[in-house]
Structure 1
Amino acid sequence: MSRSAAVRRWLAIQLLLGFLVLVCGVVQAQQTRTLNVGELYFLLQEGFANWDMRYPQSWSFARSIYSGLGDNNLDMLHSACGFDVGVKRTWTDPGGAQHDVQVAMANPQKCLDIQTIVVPVSGTYKRYYRNPYPQKVLDGKNRTDVVAQGDPVNPDLPSDVMIYQKANCWPNYGMGIQVECWAYALAHPDYDDFVILEFVITNTSNENRNDVYFGFRAETSSHTHYEDADLWGNYYGVTYWKYAQGDRTGDSLRIYYSWCADDKAEAGDSKARPHPQWGHFREPQYSGFVLLHADKSPDDESDDPRQPVKAGWSQRELSPDLKIATHEVMYDFLSKPWDPANPTSYAMHCDENYNESPNGMYRVLRPGINVRDYDMLTEQEKSGFMSFGPYQMKPGDDVRIVIAFVAGTIPLRWAIDLGRAYENGYPQQATFGLVPLPYDIVNPFTGELMVRRGSILHRSNPADVRLKDAVIDLGKQYVFQHASRAVRLWKSSNVKKGQGRFNLPVFAPASPSLYGFSEYDQVRLQWGNEAERDTRAGTITKYRIYRDYKRPPAMTSPTDTTFLLLAEVPATSHEYIDKQIVRGDKYYYYITAVNDRGIESSMFLNMTGTSQVREDEALTPTRGPDPDWTENVVVVPNPFHAAGATKYPGRRLTWLNLPAYCNIRIYTMTGDLVQMIKHVSGSGTDDWLRQDTFSTMEIVSGVYIYVIEELDGPHGKPTGKKAIGKFVVIK
């Protein structure tokens, strides 16, 4: 072989190896899917490598308060979330050290080598929809979520959407434990404030696995740590075993719940994170996770009321993890009492009768403590924890643990208006003043009047603070209500390992596909008949059209820009024309189907304006071409104040009453050509957005001449018709 041929062969091999590395990297990249049909938006990555939860999803569209679905204030799950599995067995770790216990940890923040320790089974990670994912086509462009549209459809699915995955724990080091998870979400408005996670832990080895523990931890509620408010939590469920035996004095749930509390180091009252300037509460949500079911043993699948065997919380940085702790320390954390030194005086360790004990397996807040007395920088945020076991597992045995993430909050308008009526102590708020509460606030659970219309509340008045806190703390009652629904739904259903059906009289209808068209002086909407084909959704009686509510701009107050009902049409209609528009404005819509029980389909699947660039999904009605354009064409504003225009988006200099197609040439008074605009949209308007020359120089003050030359089509030939006019630029 010649030297040149050898070189060519070597280069070819290197290119092939590089290609294979690239392909393998793509193949091995972990997928991400979401449960996105309800108010609680949940993300679970392949291999349990990332978890996320946002709530309420609809609040993300109140754009003057929140920046969108990724807004920090709606993020209800810190990345310190995941599960631990511990077994008693002798083994040697990758570093050569021998252990009598082995622990696997699926927690992206607490485990550096998660992809080696918890390894996904190839090809098992999938998301399923009960109905085909709806199309969203706007002005001829397909804006459908192509990933979701490619996911498999199963009309017999227990829920409206489900994610399934399977992973092996320490597969190269003989642990012999496999974890499967089915994650369920429903679009029904009574059941969309929680998602259910069904875990099945299986002994896949050919040996017994003794004293197996399954731990679950999550830092629910809240923004990133160490911001201008504190994250607190508590466990309720110590005496659930009594309740399960019929003693109604026992705790009725097994739930860890958390909330955004006040930080005493802040200048103002930071509970629920009020905006320091406008006052509205940005984080009034409560969230947490509740136990729905835990097997008594591999041979007894009935719910064990004495599980979890350990529950409560850790301060986030003091929670042991595989980054720094040994397997022995991790196993002790799963199976032994809480460290009495962590945390301090506000916590109580107790037995299953609420008797305080240094060996207590339950950590709860001490009765009567005031969280405002503690500093978040020393106490840290709380990471909720539950541990289940010990299970004795023969080869092939499995146990099932079912948990639901759950959330609840006061209405968005209350969060805005009560916050604006409360003097919170931040100096910025004083600049803009307070706004009296515009309505009565009535407790939805008791009917009691809580705050009267016209009220102004003050941080300096302890009674006002208690009143404001009582309204925000309704979020706790909501989260308990939603958790109770999740428990009742699970116990009354026959769902197991992705099979069966949740016990609902009727499901929420399928979301219809949406087709939108920006037309002259109107927006045309059309939709599909998917809901009418949904056999588990009852009879469809009507469709509802919602539009993004455009309030007049106000410089001194936040406005909620959520969607409002625009129209209702009978089920026989599949088209609506919106004529209540302003030319050039951007409009966003969603359409729901309503069944004979009044249940609506999910608002989130066909909603426009949800892309990364929101304006890409806007429908913008235009002015039609003017048949008498030679007489009526006009440029606005005239004069054009360039400095003033910088205050408004787009800095538009606009021609109105144009022909469908034309060239617009702009000249100086001395006849120099400044710019040419090709108008090919077929509408009667066009803008000169940049106001620059051919050489990209900004235009100067002065008088300009425009010449409009009609064309016989887009990029066509001149028809011979022209119009000439002038405009003035002031800089």
Structure 2
Amino acid sequence: MFAKEHSPFSNRLRLLIFILLSFLITGNSLWGQDIKSHEIGLLWETMYATGSIPGYAPVDDRMTYPGGDFWLQTGKNLAGRGTWIGVTEWTDQYGVFHPTYVSEGGYANDEAHGFTFPISNKKQVRNRLPNVIVNGTADVRILDKRESSTKAFSLDADERIETKWATNTGISVRRRSYAFANYNHNSYIVLEYEFTNDGNVDATTTTSELAGQNLKGVYFGFQYYIIPGGDRGHPQVDEHDDWVEYYGNQPGDSLRGLLYFYDGDSKVKTYDDIGDPDQFTGEFLSPQFPGIGVLHADTGYDNEDDDRSQPSTIEIKPQVRFKSYTKGSTEGEMYEELSSGNQSQGTVGVSPNPYDSDVRQPIALIAFGPYDLPPGESINIVLYEAVGAISKKQAIQAGKQWKDGTLSFEGKSGDDAKNALIATGRDSLFMHASRAEFAWRIGLKNIPTPPPSPNLTLNSGPGRVEVSWVTGDDPENPHPRDEDFAGYRVYRSDRPNDNLYTMIWECGGTSGVELTNEYWDYDVERGKNYYYYVTSFDDGSDNTTGLFPGQTLESSPFYNRNYELGATATVPPSSNMDSVLVVPNPYHLQGLAYGGTFQEDYLETLRPEDQLSFVGLPAKAIIRIFTVNGNLVETIQHPNPENPNSIPGSADETWHQISSSYQTIKSGVYFYYVEGWDRDGKPLGSTSGKFVIIR
């Protein structure tokens, strides 16, 4: 009766298979598989096994902001990254002398094979990623999985990823990245680099092929290619209309050093498209101001004081003008790129338009040096990544108002209001940058830590969703190290991949509600999937070293979200076939207000706005859908073993209008034919009907 049928949810398996194949074709297991990701704060980032990024397109985080999309990581800003090391009067492992040489560790040569050699990539966390269970099934992330990290109490931050790699210069690199749950510090990630002259030129750490070389004229360069909001499927990504500025190398600048990018006005649009407004909804798709900042640079191998004259080179120019061995550049030309001493302030003022050839598609190189580096000695350089932007909700609502001609901001209207609002993202970036400097100044370990996120369990009940949680392994003492723990808050959304969540309930603290570990949500609609997270919060009494002493702190809003498996209120199965219906009927596409699309066919994930529900079903059923010509469109089982949101023992089954040929159905009239059985397999007969799709 229940033969295996096609299900659109199997496309998720196809996506994972594609990812796996992409990893395997790299030919290096560490490059392909041992990636680690920070997904605890608003800024998400994936750390690869060296200082560059592969040329293929895996699922990863690339300065993703704001985080929240666990499937596609939309909101990416980082297109390319590289770490260069320059030396003079150097002899390579084959005995060849080089007057000058640069080890090009990306970005133009992707994984930089032959230049960089992965050694290890490990993630440690203060608190384990919580378990999230929906109707008895674990909700598992693609990138930041529970088993991908180990617990360590003595960390300087909530998360630390330590990556080690060797280079062909004999200088090995250790990069430690730090991320925080504290909402005052969750929009930046600190990158601490240690460069050591250990003579190792490959992934085997027991040998030192270039031991004993006293390296001179050493430069360390960090190359960045950033496109604000540069996601796939985002048509504005190829317009190359971005500006870049460097702040911090001029008298009166208040920050140690900050390189940042932002979207400009495209020449291919007939209207002002700063912020890349969506052509249908007006949503601002590129409001981000992504930046790379400087926190520290050693004065020398024997002097750990911060050298405020560094970086010695800030080079910003079009991608086509940057040197690379992939373009045939010489070793001397590469070294000159690192050591030029230029102190660029960016592309603003160089040309009136961001798409002019003098500034189009800007790449930035921040270089530190020159250093002497004797055998066994090290140089430490500390950077940070940060992003500022208006919120997702603002981008949607203000974008709609701009498109409707009703937007006003600070006394401005129209394009002026749009651009002024988006420009506040720069203020946010500078605030995050100053907080990164504050954290480094007082010591990362002194940033106050909120209570840990609890494990989350969601169960679909009759007319409700049952939410329960527990922190740690001891229910009687859930917060043994958090004497200022105060209570819990419950947040909910009907869309899993964005940040449009609303707090719906809290207990403990000053709420007046007794502390508990359970909440039943009755304010739910039948057939709609809901997504939750539960946070722990404190009373602020232990917050003595933060930016705002005494401020109450709350755990990460991302650690225990359900995103793959929705929870929905259930209705018991029908005992007959008399009440089977399709809702809504007619269906009219109107899901654009919060991120819907006009794309013809779905990609890797189902779109919430396409959902239809078959209601009034018996315990077991087979649903067949036909065109008016009698062609079979799709066959759906109830319950559907391939649909993680299908609930056994309920009267409902959802369908996202995906045919057996993986296409979104078109406007028209469709017929359904349903056969049904009770729990014991007794036939209940059949029924049929029709529904209308309007797109």
Task: Give the structure-2-normalised TM-score.
Answer: 0.74
1:433-452 aligned within 5 A: 434-437=404-407, 441=409, 450-451=410-411
Partner of 1:243: none
Could you tell me which amino acid in structure 1 is paired with residue 441 of structure 2? K
Judged with a 3 Å threshold, the aligned counterparts in structure 2 of structure 1 residues 591 and 406 are, in CA distance, closer, same or farther, namely same
Q: For the residues of structure 1 that align with 2:671 and 2:361, how far apart are their CA atoms?
A: 63
Partner of 1:129: 125
Q: Name the SS of the counterpart of 1:502 in structure 2.
A: helix
Q: Name the SS of the counterpart of 1:363 in structure 2.
A: coil
**Per-residue deviation, 1:54:** 3.3
**Per-residue deviation, 1:622:** 1.5
1:383-532 aligned within 5 A: 383-422=363-402, 434-437=404-407, 441=409, 450-451=410-411, 456-457=413-414, 459=415, 465=416, 467-493=417-443, 501-504=444-447, 506-530=448-472
Judged with a 3 Å threshold, the aligned counterparts in structure 2 of structure 1 residues 677 and 268 are, in CA distance, closer, same or farther, namely closer
1:209-608 aligned within 5 A: 209-222=215-228, 223=230, 227-228=238-239, 230-239=241-250, 249-323=252-326, 324-337=328-341, 361-365=342-346, 369=349, 372-376=352-356, 379-422=359-402, 434-437=404-407, 441=409, 450-451=410-411, 456-457=413-414, 459=415, 465=416, 467-493=417-443, 501-504=444-447, 506-530=448-472, 533=478, 539-549=484-494, 562-570=500-508, 572-597=515-540, 598-608=552-562
Q: Deviations over 1:63-120 (max 9, x none)?
A: xxxxx6433xx111112x12111111243688x975212221221x312671321112
Q: Name the SS of the counterpart of 1:216 in structure 2.
A: strand
Q: Name the SS of the counterpart of 1:328 in structure 2.
A: helix
Q: For the residues of structure 1 that align with 2:460 and 2:676, how far apart are their CA atoms?
A: 25
Q: Deviations over 1:619-651 (max 9, x none)?
A: 12210246xx46x9522259998999x998465
1:49-88 aligned within 5 A: 49-50=52-53, 52-58=61-67, 60=69, 69-71=72-74, 74-79=75-80, 81-88=81-88
Judged with a 3 Å threshold, the aligned counterparts in structure 2 of structure 1 residues 198 and 690 are, in CA distance, closer, same or farther, namely closer
Judged with a 3 Å threshold, the aligned counterparts in structure 2 of structure 1 residues 83 and 538 are, in CA distance, closer, same or farther, namely farther
Partners of 1:542 and 1:595 within 8 A in 2 = yes
Partners of 1:663 and 1:709 within 8 A in 2 = no
Could you tell me which amino acid in structure 2 is paired with residue 599 of structure 1? L
The percentage of counterpart residues that share the same residue type is 24
Q: Deviations over 1:140-161 (max 9, x none)?
A: 1122348632221101111111
Judged with a 3 Å threshold, the aligned counterparts in structure 2 of structure 1 residues 325 and 413 are, in CA distance, closer, same or farther, namely same
Partner of 2:642: none
Partner of 1:179: 173
Q: For the residues of structure 2 that align with 1:665 and 1:263, how far apart are their CA atoms?
A: 48
Q: For the residues of structure 1 that align with 2:185 and 2:262, how far apart are their CA atoms?
A: 21
Q: Which moved more, 1:272-281 or 1:473-482?
A: 272-281
**Per-residue deviation, 1:661:** 6.4
Partners of 1:197 and 1:403 within 8 A in 2 = yes
Partners of 1:221 and 1:288 within 8 A in 2 = no
Structure 2 spans left out of the alignment, 5+ residues: 1-23, 55-60, 199-210, 509-513, 541-551, 590-599, 602-608, 626-633, 640-647, 660-668
Q: Deviations over 1:261-313 (max 9, x none)?
A: 11244322121111233222111111111110001111110111111111241
Could you tell me which amino acid in structure 1 is paired with residue 506 of structure 2? E
Does structure 1 residue 111 correspond to structure 2 residue 114? no
Judged with a 3 Å threshold, the aligned counterparts in structure 2 of structure 1 residues 679 and 412 are, in CA distance, closer, same or farther, namely closer
Judged with a 3 Å threshold, the aligned counterparts in structure 2 of structure 1 residues 329 and 636 are, in CA distance, closer, same or farther, namely same
Partners of 1:202 and 1:397 within 8 A in 2 = yes
Q: For the residues of structure 2 that align with 1:405 and 1:594, how far apart are their CA atoms?
A: 27
Q: Name the SS of the counterpart of 1:479 in structure 2.
A: helix
Q: For the residues of structure 1 that align with 2:266 and 2:587, how far apart are their CA atoms?
A: 46
Q: Name the SS of the counterpart of 1:606 in structure 2.
A: coil
Judged with a 3 Å threshold, the aligned counterparts in structure 2 of structure 1 residues 589 and 304 are, in CA distance, closer, same or farther, namely same
Partner of 1:624: 572
Judged with a 3 Å threshold, the aligned counterparts in structure 2 of structure 1 residues 617 and 687 are, in CA distance, closer, same or farther, namely closer
Partner of 1:11: none
Judged with a 3 Å threshold, the aligned counterparts in structure 2 of structure 1 residues 679 and 120 are, in CA distance, closer, same or farther, namely closer
2:580 to 599, 620, 635: 635
Q: Name the SS of the counterpart of 1:333 in structure 2.
A: helix
Structure 1 spans left out of the alignment, 5+ residues: 1-20, 62-67, 241-248, 338-360, 423-432, 442-449, 460-464, 494-500, 552-558, 610-615, 667-674, 693-700
Larger Rg: 1
Judged with a 3 Å threshold, the aligned counterparts in structure 2 of structure 1 residues 642 and 333 are, in CA distance, closer, same or farther, namely closer
Q: For the residues of structure 2 that align with 1:164 and 1:642, how far apart are their CA atoms?
A: 51
Judged with a 3 Å threshold, the aligned counterparts in structure 2 of structure 1 residues 55 and 589 are, in CA distance, closer, same or farther, namely same
Could you tell me which amino acid in structure 2 is paired with residue 334 of structure 1? L
Could you tell me which amino acid in structure 2 is paired with residue 520 of structure 1? P
Q: For the residues of structure 2 that align with 1:335 and 1:619, how far apart are their CA atoms?
A: 57
Judged with a 3 Å threshold, the aligned counterparts in structure 2 of structure 1 residues 302 and 586 are, in CA distance, closer, same or farther, namely same
**Per-residue deviation, 1:32:** 0.9
Q: For the residues of structure 2 that align with 1:689 and 1:110, how far apart are their CA atoms?
A: 41
Judged with a 3 Å threshold, the aligned counterparts in structure 2 of structure 1 residues 212 and 417 are, in CA distance, closer, same or farther, namely same
Partners of 1:229 and 1:270 within 8 A in 2 = no
Does structure 1 residue 102 correspond to structure 2 residue 101? yes
Q: For the residues of structure 2 that align with 1:533 and 1:152, how far apart are their CA atoms?
A: 20
Q: For the residues of structure 2 that align with 1:23 and 1:76, how far apart are their CA atoms?
A: 23
Could you tell me which amino acid in structure 2 is paired with residue 682 of structure 1? G
Partners of 1:261 and 1:372 within 8 A in 2 = no
Partner of 1:13: none
**Per-residue deviation, 1:325:** 1.6
Task: Give the structure-1-normalised TM-score.
Answer: 0.71
Could you tell me which amino acid in structure 2 is paired with residue 436 of structure 1? T
**Per-residue deviation, 1:56:** 2.4
Q: For the residues of structure 2 that align with 1:539 and 1:237, how far apart are their CA atoms?
A: 39
Q: Deviations over 1:674-730 (max 9, x none)?
A: x999867323456899999xxxxxxxx99999886645x4x5xx4xxx867865558
**Per-residue deviation, 1:53:** 2.6
Judged with a 3 Å threshold, the aligned counterparts in structure 2 of structure 1 residues 226 and 584 are, in CA distance, closer, same or farther, namely closer
Q: For the residues of structure 2 that align with 1:420 and 1:642, how far apart are their CA atoms?
A: 23
**Per-residue deviation, 1:472:** 1.8
